[in-house]
Structure 1
Amino acid sequence: MQALRTTDPRRVGPYEVRGRLGSGGMGEVYLAESRTGLRLAVKVVRAEYAQDRTFRARFRQEVRAAQTVGGAGTYTARVVDADPEGERPWMATEFVEGPNLRDAVLDGGPLPEPAVRVLGAALGEALGAIHARGMVHRDLKPSNILLAPDGPRVIDFGIVRALEATAMTRTGAIVGSVGYVSPEQIRNGGKVGPSSDVFSLGAVLAYAASGREPFGEGQDSVILLRILTRDFDLTGVPRELLPLVEACLREEPGQRPMPADVVAAVGGSPRGGLRPGWYTAAGPGPEASQGTEIWLPERESGERESRVEYVAPVAETPDVAPPEVEAADGRPSRRGLLRLAAGGVVVAGAGGAGAWWWLGQSETGSSGEGKGGSAKAPGSVARKASVNWTYKAGGPPHVAGGAGGALSVDGRTLYFVGDDGNLRALGSDGKERWKATVFKGASFVTRPVFTADGIFVAVVSDTEPEPGRLIALSAEGEVMWTRELPSPFFQQPAVFRGNVVVGSSKHTIDGAGIVQAYDGRGKVRWYAELDGAPHEELVVAGDVLYVPCYDNHLYGIREGGATPFDAPLDGDVGRPAVSSDTVIVSTGNQAAELFGLDLTGRLKWREPDLAGSYVPANADSFAFLGVTDTGAALKAITARGDVVWTYGGGGAFSDPVLVDSTVYVRTDTEVHALDLRGELLWKATVGPDPGVLLTPLVHGRRVYAGTNKGIAALDVTV
């Protein structure tokens, strides 16, 4: 840590600045402390970016995205606070004690093989968590990985997607660190998917295991050429790890492993059993064992953070084709690459590179991640979807509303409860992997939620007033434990700060309520008692859990059970939706209204004509998407309650979902896909109304929809 300079701020927001941690192209990074003693790493954006309106909009969006990932069980540094609207925007993440991977290798040499395996598993889990939120890191590199005493943490003090929106980079630049960018990052002008992160992960593991840059040293253009021609040096990588590293560095994105495959290949999750000094050959030194803090040094890094100007594609990358069509060899000639290195790619220092970026990927990838077919022009959109397969379960997914099921973190497994009350796991090919009876005689089973410790559902039996139960299952569908809930009146569980939270009444449905947080072993870590019982789905937004209750209050609960947010409203409180600075919630009964609240619960506005069910959208032109109370119109609205567009009228809609600039919504017989202007891209018939309109589940170019008989899987094509 460096001493503060005379030009450095002494306070950022509510936090007192203690010292400098570093700097980059986007801004300065400081160690700061809250009034309660919590230490944070605070990034303050440079003044020239703060004046750019497009940058601010993107920064606001990326902060919201980053706040959905992080904390316990994810091996990522949690975003604690941010002010995208300040004179100079800033973002605060939890401070992680420990050196970054680059410095650890420079100081102590390559990591021993067991430590590299721990690193690989942790990075795989971190990327899985990031990708599950529809984002791509896009700048995974050794200096963005901290080696904490209890395991690695992925950090990112720069927001590349916001940086790419500035006047400096709007000409099609990508931002990344030379030596760790993927081939498609160089070719496609920054249009990349999750497989790009896996390429970077492979390069990181090679560096950690060998102490050498896998693509060597030299001019940026030469290193980029080596990446494009797969000219890497894996000397020093242990023989047992070579197949994994080579697989991650494959040229074709669709041929690289998924993050979950990386975790499995290195021996599984590192959770538990790590001790300080886990990444050294001899273990921690005496100072480390006594708890001495290890600060992030502000040294000159060997990594060059660069902006690679994208002039034209090196080679057109094939899009997704039918399975029987082989992929064309889209590799450019070396002569063409030499021309590119000489003049087609301009490298300019940008610094501070990194981002969370919304995905637009298929299971085999898009934006140059497909196999076979013809090239897709930049900006083209999907225009058609067709049913790939259907799975018959004897009836519709057995949930009261919301999504008809849930996808695993890597998107390869679909979980849903059939009409018989059994939990099913289906592969992406529609084949049943397993079926589990979670509780004999269950009359209702919630859709599953996931943590690193397992799969969780809540059930209620046919025999009231027996209490409900929270049940934990392994990845293979075996019941690990069961815990009784306070009553049979509970809501859909959620995952909050690594724990599974369940809201229920304490006794009767209209009496007092309680929210309990269970860890992976079924122990209640904390609870919060409320004057009213929860009566709608709990919503997680950042570090607050929002709970709508029967006493006409919307409560906000923090980890540990404190309730700093309490908004009394007129009428039954619906499920809330949260943007960066606004909470919206509808009330029912005779005087239905939509309320806009600030993050303390104070009323900002109210609009009777907009009452309905909303979800956060985080788009540039609108903050929320929702269906009006009649179910007959889908609306996009701003955080101020202004309607941007309306779609439909006449038929009913499910709750919508926004994935990679496309809005998906279910009607009684179809799935509709809209662009961000509310215009129809495509619609596809999936079957009769299952009784309750269920939100589609989307992973890349695969869309899952509940039907009256089970599940239909749609494949989207251009």
Structure 2
Amino acid sequence: MQALRETDPRRIGPYEVRGRLGAGGMGEVYLAEARGGLRLAVKVVRAEHAEDRTFRARFRQEVRAAQTVGGTGTYTARVVDADTEAERPWMATEFVDGPNLRDAVLDHGPLPEDAVLVLAAALGEALAAIHAKGMVHRDLKPSNILLAQDGPRVIDFGIVRALEATSLTRTGTIVGSVGYVSPEQIRNGAEVGPASDVFSLGAVLAYAASGREPFGEGQDSVILLRILTRDFDLSAVPKGVLPLVESCLRAEPQERPTPQALVAEAGHTGGSLRDSTRPGWLPFTPERAGDDERWLPDRDSGPERSRVEYLAPHTVVSEARPGADVPQSAPSGRGSSRRRLLTSAAGGLLAAGVAVGGVYLTRERDAGGDAGGSPSGTPAPGDGVSAAPASVVWQFETGPLFYAAGSGPCVALAPNDDVVYAAGEDGTLWAINSDGTLLWKVDFDGLTPTPPAVTADGVFCALTAELPGSERLVAVSHGGDRLWARDLPSRSFEMPAVTEEGLVLVGYGDLGAGGVRAYAVDGTLSWTRTLAGAPDVAPVVVDGTVYVGCYDDHLYALDATTGDVAWRTELDSDVAQPGVSVTQGMVVASTNNDANILYGITTDGKRVWQRPGQGGAIYSSAFTFGSLALARVGTTLVASSLKDGARMWTYGPCHSDPAPTAGAVLLRSGGELHAVAADGTLRWKVTVGDPGERRLSPVVRGTRVYVPSAKGLAAVNVTG
């Protein structure tokens, strides 16, 4: 649950709003309370849907049907109240105080066999109740199943049917979740029957029992093709559950069991199921989401900001056409659901005989549910969010900026933020006013300056050259005058860093020995520290300690004032660019090459956790964002728990290292700047231009973001 914003309603109908629970393609979800103390999850429809008369009519029908489904006895979240004629229609369901199935598996691992069988029987009863009222869920997935102490609850039945009626979708468009749609959903779009839900249930049970996506990962089009060709992986599903799952995943709808048959197949009757869904039916105690102050991390600099402020469903639907490209799929994440559209008449889908108008899909591996209970699921970025609260205010053509291995920041700013300094590959240091006009530039005669470090006394760059012997650290005044230069012992490709006392640090050395030097602002050498291996990343200074990873496969912590070694910790390889990140008493570092491990290390040098890369992917950075450890793996941003390294969510495509801010993580995604919330959902995006081959990180200061492009630098103002 998250705190309310100033713009959030304090009452919805007769109910007092207590907090925010999440959001999805339909709208925002609030925790509300009736006069008698009954707590409800109230979904408020988005304005764009509310203006669609066809949607309103379908929503009205689906709410009426949903109100007749039931509640606890049918393992569905009971619809308590609704106002379908309000300016923004809303629907209130019973509040289920527990996590969704996806979060539970991510946090605790696969469910044991007996719990999966109880889950199967309960979901069979839920589907039977839904189908008895003439409804088909159409979007059954782990994040639409909440786990309470007295059994699971299915949520959001009827919602997808209403979405299919919006102007955002057209005839032949599929609405569902990648990895959980049935073959007939892919082929026939909205024209599906109850057996489609049974197929989705089979995929849900496979995930619950194994912790794996039954149809794997990859592009959406690839996963859809696997569904059509029954190319699934059930190798990790326990033998006691496997026949049940396989029967649900049969290709032909008429060959799948009915929901009522599923209950019996799972070994239960109505009475035995009620006995089984008592406290203790799960191997863990479901976390309660509504009683405490466990607010989600802020999305913005102010405490009133909402986790769903800028989320919205698709606003564009692409028509299928022969030969159309299928967009890259979005990797996994946690949080609110994300509807994404792709043309499904491409490649393998055409070969399989599928020609539909579009696929309006939730990336379930990345997407959480829309309604009550635990606020986070596993989100994907999706395409088509609301208009970004950001705009490009100027662009300055510098030519390509300095590109360090592993990306890294592109610019530095003056202490008062009125000047931005950028290092060009042509050997020029640029000083640009905050209004986008040139202040001055310095040419370093063919030597390439690294991105600079800045203090109140000047601008500092390490100069590199193709041939050794010309490396030096240079200082330039804020007026553009060269102050001094100091030769470095050997080649240094890393940008300098500055300490709280104003010392300028630079790593030096080759693959053998090297070290760190600290210079005073007047160029005087303050201290030097020789290390067993040369630094392979730029120094990072936090709270009086210098952290630097070296080629001897060690992470060093040095005293920033004296250079003394406080501790060193052995890693499995050298530290990946662009270094380490430190927060909340933890140091996060990653190694690349063959070792490929992300580490959590205490600030006194103790290794607490480590997470190897998956599928041969290589970590190329390490950052922190609130309670998360972030690392880039190829074009995917991976978020893990800072506490224990548990995987939380992934996001992609990500074409730069992330720039964490107080409320979001900013990153390049193609020609766009994306703002990603702490639950992995896309808050907004804005076009900033062709990035070219240089995947440099954006730099954030207050409400201004500086983003590199193929030709130079763009300044973006963020207003929300």
Q: TM-score, normalised by structure 2?
A: 0.44
Larger radius of gyration: 2
Relative to the length of structure 1, the TM-score reads 0.44
